[in-house]
């Protein structure tokens, strides 16, 4: 199950929507900011249907 979460870019502070697949217990991936285009890492800890923790790092 995918859930949409709002995160902020660690560089420019722009809020953006991120879709997280909660069927994967622990995730680590890189994505780009929609505004400043800089890449950052996202760490997610999930249970099916729920995001337990979400961390964004430059």
Domain ranges for the chain = 2-57
Of 40, 33, 38, 45, nearest to 56 (Cα)?
40
Structure tokens at 6: 């709002």
pLDDT digits (tens, 9 = 90+) for 11-51: 999 999 999 999 999 999 999 999 999 999 999 999 999 99
Distance CA 11, CA 40 (A): 9
pTM as predicted: 0.86
Q: Which residue has the tokens 């859930």?
A: 3
């Amino acid at each position: 199950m995918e859930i949409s979460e709002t995160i902020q870019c660690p560089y420019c502070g722009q809020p953006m929507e991120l879709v997280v697949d909660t069927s994967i217990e622990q995730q680590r991936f890189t994505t780009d900011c929609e505004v400043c285009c800089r890449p950052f890492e996202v760490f997610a800890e999930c249970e099916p249907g729920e995001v337990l923790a979400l961390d964004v790092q430059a």
